[in-house]
Chain A
Amino acid sequence: MGSNGELLAVLPSVGLTTIVLLAMTLLFSIIFVKAARRIAKA
């Protein structure tokens, strides 16, 4: 990651969108899996 100049350069410009999308993606993935477990009783 530290050696990836492109990634380091792009981080500040996409910051807020990335943080919100990442948080929502993780949150809903976990919520959906929890719901699926209840339905399937796994």
Chain B
Amino acid sequence: MITWYIIAALFLGVLAGYASNMMGAAWLNPIFSDTIFNLSLFALLFLMGIIFGMDRQAVSKLKETGFKILIFPFTIVLGSITGGFIGALILGTDIFAAMGVCAGCGWYTLTGPLAGQLFGLKWGAIGFTVNFLRELITIVAASPASKIDRYAPVAMGGATAMDTTLPVIVRATSQDMLITAFTSGFIITLLAPFMITAIATLAG
């Protein structure tokens, strides 16, 4: 049921944003996309922190997982790059550009401009849309994906698992996934710019 509410909220948001532009109220965009977006994100993360702090078993669960937690971000980045490689083979397009774009792991504000600089404008646009839609699909499909594998929503979220998709991931899985998702997203956020640049260097 919650998935339908998420889809409805997203759809209404798209309509509201489009209507705002059509009515000449584009000046509202930075207020919504920066100020209100950031404030609501901080509020969500604060609530997540409270829920984690209230869970008496959270710390012991984290100790049980230990260093294994670090395996996930690296495999997610590797999986994303492999996906780009296979995708490029299917499409018969530039392999390095496709791998670089997919190495963004959902961080569209970085990947769009960086891929544009390194691989050309077309790849900048692809980098932006692939990673933007990755975040969007994670928000909408986290719940059904968690039935495939408990960690699937974390893998889908990539770098966004530390902020925008974190509440959805926790909701779709369980509270003890909070630290795993946050750590994974944080490490991927650190890795993504280096991976994109490294792939571009390999491409020559």
Q: Which residues of B contact A7 (CB under 8 A)?
A: 128-129, 132
Question: Which residue from B17, B28, B154 sits with its C-beta under 8 Å from A4?
Answer: B17
Known contacts A3-B32, A21-B102, A26-B137: A31-B26 contact under CB 8 Å: no
B151 at the interface (CB under 8 A from A): yes
Taking CB atoms and an 8 Å cut-off, the chain A residues in 7-21 that contact chain B are 7, 10-11, 13-14, 16-18, 20-21
Binds A, one of B44-52, B83-91, B165-173, B192-200: B83-91
Band of interface residues on B? 35 or more
A3 to chain B, nearest CB (A): 3
Give min CB distance, B197 to chain A, whole Å. Answer: 18
Does B63 belong to the interface (CB within 8 Å)? no
Chain B, interface SS category: helix
B132 contacts across to A, CB distance below 8 A = 1, 7
Known contacts: A3-B20, A3-B32, A29-B156. The answer to whether A24 contacts B133 by CB under 8 A is no
Rounded to whole Å, the gap between the CB of A13 and the closest CB of chain B is 7
Contact A11 B129 (CB under 8 A): yes
Task: Mark B residues whose CB is within 8 Å of A.
Answer: 10, 13-21, 26, 28-29, 32-33, 65, 68-69, 71-72, 75-76, 78-80, 82-84, 86-88, 90-91, 93, 98, 101-102, 122, 125-126, 128-130, 132-134, 136-137, 145, 148-149, 151-152, 154-156, 158
Q: Which 3 A-B pairs have the closest CB atoms?
A: A2-B17, A32-B79, A3-B17
- 12 further A-B contacts with Cβ under 8 Å, apart from A1-B13, A14-B129, A29-B155, are A1-B132, A2-B13, A3-B28, A3-B29, A21-B101, A21-B102, A25-B102, A29-B76, A32-B76, A33-B154, A34-B149, A40-B71
